[in-house]
């Protein structure tokens, strides 16, 4: 975080008003914990997704706490598209959908489009990621190593 | 602070250098879900970790002092703050009793920061920030930097930073002792929340649910009220637009 606060600023603010009672809250500890539990990206969650494209989308969605409809409105695409990407093996999203999703997830458009087209050979210099991405089609559970590779794939996509 | 394990302008939150904080040790390389590892499983070396900032506060005698704002604290640190704040409140309550005074009830003094931090410390999008001065925690703030969206008609659906919890130390409350030890904790925290929003590309948009005693403050400083929220114990929900956020922090860099 690039935080710079000078004394003069605070002095001016405190002249405007006192801040002794500033508080915010309203979420019970139980609700807070429940919300957080839904945010963990588990290997089991990812294993339910049949394609590498879907796993990447699902990973980012879980990580950021977006529902499919939230991501849909953020990317301005149909919710059905996102559901299809995450659940159907042979679903072929339109180039517009792929581009919009890349923007919403803050991915490199070019790399994400390549991933969507399965043109993985030019995707990244990291062979192991590609090999995994190419063979990972719907197993019952994914290992820690595979999980780490999907995470690395998301990271690679995020380097614009 | 966007995303887990992504490199960002030299202040990666997943570095490995421990940052001493008083008697506590902040493990900068905390066990997050996504420790930075390359495909060979080795720890990737990261740049220097900048997790703290010098910020001003105003002491009770009117002088300004230097305090430290930590971008992320761990469970141990939160536990210490809980202990200190509770101990202070207990003493003040006892004193009020012997003097026959009424002491206001402070709901947020029972907020169990340790439990909150413990539940969220592994998620990079839920940092708990602390302001420390004179060896003690002057305030704590838990932010959500992902997955929260504006409700204001002008910015509906746009991502923002949500202030999940914000509290100042009990000795900084006017209602409790008349002369708060330090003023400025609220302003500095809100500035930090706005900065976090800007750094994430959210243009300064922040939102929060205000406790009743703080409503006037937020309204005076440009927050727009979207009414009482039945999902948050009926507390009023406020948002700051990018314009209002800009006005809030304007002139803060000398």
Nearest CA in chain A to B201: A106
Question: Alpha-carbon distance B52 to B19, whole Å?
Answer: 9
CA–CA dist B196, B243 (Å, integer): 16
Bridge partner list, B130: B70, B140
Please tell me the predicted confidence (pLDDT) of residue B235.
95
Contact A14 B58 (CB under 8 A): yes
Are residues A20 and B168, on separate chains, in Cβ contact within 8 Å?
A: yes
Q: What's chain A's average pLDDT?
A: 81
Q: What is the pLDDT of residue B222?
A: 96
- Euclidean distance between CA atoms B188 and A134, whole angstroms: 49
Q: Using one digit for the tens of pLDDT, what is the confidence trace for B149-167?
A: 999 999 998 999 999 999 9
Note whether A158 contacts B: Cβ–Cβ < 8 A.
Answer: yes
Residues of chain A found within 8 Å of residue B115, distances taken between Cβ atoms: 29
Instruction: Name the A residues in 33-72 with CB < 8 Å from any B CB.
Output: 33, 36, 39-41, 63-66, 70
Q: Which residue of chain A comes nearest to B111, CA vs CA?
A: A29
Name which of B34, B46, B40 is nearest B9 in CA terms.
B46
Q: Between chain A and chain B, how many beta carbons pairs sit less than 8 Å apart?
A: 192
B144 vs B97, B116, B149, B166, CA distance in Å? 39, 12, 11, 12
Output the pTM of the full model.
0.65
Q: Give how far B98 is from chain A: nearest CA, Å.
A: 25
Residue B61, judged by CB atoms within 10 A of its CB (0-12, 13-18, 19+), counts as exposed
Cβ within 8 Å, pair B39-A158: no
pLDDT in tens, A98-142: 999 999 998 999 999 988 886 433 333 344 444 444 444 444 566
What average pLDDT does the segment A76-81 reach? 95
């Amino acid at each position: 975080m690039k935080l710079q606060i000078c004394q003069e600023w605070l002095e001016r603010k405190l002249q405007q008003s006192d801040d002794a009672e500033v508080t915010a809250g309203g979420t019970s500890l139980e609700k807070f914990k429940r919300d957080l539990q839904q945010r963990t990206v588990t290997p089991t969650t990812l294993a339910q997704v049949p394609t590498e494209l879907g796993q990447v989308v699902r990973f980012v969605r879980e990580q950021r706490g977006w529902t499919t409809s939230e991501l849909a409105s953020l990317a301005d695409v149909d919710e059905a598209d996102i559901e299809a990407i995450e659940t159907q093996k042979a679903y072929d999203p339109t180039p517009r959908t792929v581009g919009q999703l890349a923007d919403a997830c803050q991915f490199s458009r070019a790399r994400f489009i390549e991933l969507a087209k399965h043109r993985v050979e030019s995707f990244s210099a990291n062979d192991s990621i590609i090999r995994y991405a190419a063979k990972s089609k719907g197993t019952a559970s994914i290992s820690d190593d595979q999980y780490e590779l999907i995470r690395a794939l998301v990271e690679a996509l995020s380097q614009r | 602070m966007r995303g887990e394990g992504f490199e960002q302008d030299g202040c990666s939150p997943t570095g490995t250098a421990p940052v001493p904080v008083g008697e506590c040790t902040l493990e900068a390389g905390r066990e997050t879900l996504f420790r930075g590892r390359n495909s060979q499983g080795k720890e990737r070396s990261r740049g220097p970790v900048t997790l703290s900032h010098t910020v001003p506060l105003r002491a009770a005698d009117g002088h300004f002092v230097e305090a430290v704002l930590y971008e992320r604290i761990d469970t141990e640190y939160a536990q210490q703050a809980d202990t200190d704040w509770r101990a202070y409140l207990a003493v003040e309550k006892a004193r009020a009793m012997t003097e026959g005074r009424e002491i206001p009830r402070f709901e947020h003094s029972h907020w169990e920061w340790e439990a909150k931090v413990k539940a969220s410390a592994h998620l990079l999008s839920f940092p708990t920030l602390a302001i420390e001065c004179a060896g003690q925690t002057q305030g704590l703030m838990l932010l959500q930097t992902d997955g929260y969206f504006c409700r204001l008609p002008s910015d509906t659906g746009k991502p923002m930073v949500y202030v999940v919890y914000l509290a100042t130390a009990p000795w900084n409350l006017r209602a409790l002792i008349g002369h708060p030890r330090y003023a400025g904790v609220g302003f500095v925290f809100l500035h930090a929340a706005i900065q976090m929003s800007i750094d994430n590309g959210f243009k300064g948009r922040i939102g929060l649910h205000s406790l009743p005693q703080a409503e006037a403050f937020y309204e005076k400083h440009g927050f727009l009220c979207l009414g009482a929220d039945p999902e948050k114990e009926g507390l009023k929900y406020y948002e700051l637009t990018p314009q209002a956020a800009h006005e809030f922090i304007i002139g803060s860099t000398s």
